[in-house]
Amino acid sequence: TPTSLSTSEILIVINSNLTNHSQLLNVTRYGYSNVNIISQSYTWSLSENFLKPRVFKLIS
Protein backbone atom coordinates (compact mmCIF):
# COMPACT_ATOMS: atom_id res chain seq x y z
CA THR A 1 0.00 0.00 0.00
CA PRO A 2 1.26 3.51 -0.73
CA THR A 3 2.48 5.60 2.15
CA SER A 4 1.19 8.76 0.47
CA LEU A 5 -0.99 9.36 -2.54
CA SER A 6 0.21 11.56 -5.35
CA THR A 7 -1.49 14.92 -5.31
CA SER A 8 0.12 16.40 -8.39
CA GLU A 9 1.22 15.48 -11.88
CA ILE A 10 4.28 17.16 -13.37
CA LEU A 11 5.13 17.23 -17.07
CA ILE A 12 8.53 18.65 -18.02
CA VAL A 13 9.31 19.29 -21.69
CA ILE A 14 12.93 20.04 -22.60
CA ASN A 15 14.00 21.35 -25.99
CA SER A 16 17.40 19.63 -25.79
CA ASN A 17 18.96 16.27 -24.98
CA LEU A 18 18.83 14.84 -21.47
CA THR A 19 21.52 12.53 -20.10
CA ASN A 20 21.16 9.80 -17.49
CA HIS A 21 23.10 11.98 -15.03
CA SER A 22 20.87 15.06 -15.26
CA GLN A 23 19.69 16.61 -11.98
CA LEU A 24 16.18 16.54 -13.46
CA LEU A 25 16.25 12.76 -12.92
CA ASN A 26 16.90 13.16 -9.18
CA VAL A 27 13.78 11.52 -7.71
CA THR A 28 14.07 13.36 -4.38
CA ARG A 29 13.15 16.63 -6.14
CA TYR A 30 9.57 15.54 -6.77
CA GLY A 31 8.26 14.23 -3.46
CA TYR A 32 5.08 12.22 -4.05
CA SER A 33 4.29 13.71 -7.48
CA ASN A 34 3.84 11.70 -10.65
CA VAL A 35 6.46 12.97 -13.10
CA ASN A 36 7.04 12.62 -16.84
CA ILE A 37 10.00 14.24 -18.58
CA ILE A 38 10.11 14.58 -22.36
CA SER A 39 13.32 15.63 -24.11
CA GLN A 40 14.65 15.47 -27.65
CA SER A 41 16.58 12.33 -26.76
CA TYR A 42 14.25 10.34 -24.47
CA THR A 43 11.02 10.20 -22.50
CA TRP A 44 11.24 9.33 -18.80
CA SER A 45 8.51 8.41 -16.31
CA LEU A 46 8.91 8.28 -12.53
CA SER A 47 7.70 5.03 -10.95
CA GLU A 48 4.61 5.09 -8.75
CA ASN A 49 4.76 5.96 -5.05
CA PHE A 50 4.13 2.39 -3.89
CA LEU A 51 7.25 1.12 -5.69
CA LYS A 52 10.36 1.51 -3.58
CA PRO A 53 12.86 2.71 -4.48
CA ARG A 54 11.27 5.13 -6.92
CA VAL A 55 13.22 5.38 -10.17
CA PHE A 56 12.83 7.02 -13.54
CA LYS A 57 12.01 4.51 -16.28
CA LEU A 58 13.17 5.14 -19.82
CA ILE A 59 10.09 5.02 -22.07
CA SER A 60 11.64 5.81 -25.46
- Domain residue ranges of the chain, discontinuous segments joined by +: 9-58
pLDDT of residue 28 exceeding 60 = yes
Tens digit of each residue's pLDDT (9 = 90 or more) over 1-10:
455 666 789 9
**Chain mean pLDDT for the chain:** 87
pTM: 0.81
**Nearest alpha carbon to residue 57 among 47, 9, 49, 40:** 47
What is the rounded distance in angstroms from the CA atom of residue 3 to the CA atom of residue 57? 21
| 3-class secondary structure per residue, 10-49 | EEEECCCCCCCCCHHHCHHHHCCCEEEEECCCCEEEECCC
